[in-house]
Amino acid sequence: MRVVITGGPGSGKTSLLNALAKQGLTTVAEINRPLIVTQQTMANPALPWHNTAQFVKLAADLMQLVWQRPPAPLSVYDRGIPDLYAYLYLADFPIPDWLTTLANHCRYHRFVFWCPPWPEIFKQDPERQQSLSDAIQLGLHTREVYLSLGYQVIDIPKISPASRACWLLQQLRQPVPHPV
């Protein structure tokens, strides 16, 4: 089962993923941050804030490779392929047909867990150059993308990472998770 944790930058996704890994779950780290680090060393970098279309293509290729690996009985992903729609949306780019085909082919568990904007923990850094406002917009649009693709989006409460991990695991054990 491939479960996605999504949301805008700085909403606590990675902290939650780390807490889940400490509990022994198989987790799949975000592709975007290491891709940005690599691209920042290049002469003509494909970065989400400068060369959005190329960044999305590179990220999609990497995400597809990761998705094609056989999952553990429960694999938790920090972002999924549909997240890339939000980067294009913020840059006012159309969604290419190839990305829609990929998102429809590489499906995740029907329940997607969304970390809402959390201004109190948001921090910019060299790999997260979006403003808080852009991060919020990216997160809100990401939520809408998953809904539009037929996923049920479940909001994760703003609690400590360890508590979030326990909460998420409890939701996955229920026959039908309920939004907070």
**So what's the pLDDT on residue 128?**
66
Task: Give the CATH fold of the 2-173 domain.
Answer: Rossmann fold (3.40.50)
What gap in Å lies between CA 27 and CA 39, rounded to an integer?
24
- Give me the residue label for tokens 């990675």: 14
Q: What is the pTM of this model?
A: 0.88
Give the CA distances from residue 84 to residues 13, 126, 180, in Å, rounded to whole numbers and listed in that order: 16, 20, 25
| 155, 114 contact by CB (below 8 A) | yes
Q: Is the torsion defined by CA of 38, 8, 82, 17 positive or negative?
A: positive
Q: What is the mean pLDDT of residues 157-178?
A: 85
Interval 2-38: pLDDT, tens: 999 999 888 999 999 999 999 999 999 998 888 988 8
In this prediction, what percent of the chain has a pLDDT beyond 90? 65
Phi/psi at 128 (nearest 5 deg)? -125, 85
The partner residues of 115 in beta bridges, in order of sequence, read: 7
Question: Could you please report the per-residue DSSP string of 3-70?
Answer: EEEEESTTSSHHHHHHHHHHTT-EEE--SHHHHHHHHTTSSS---TTTSHHHHHHHHHHHHHHHHHSP
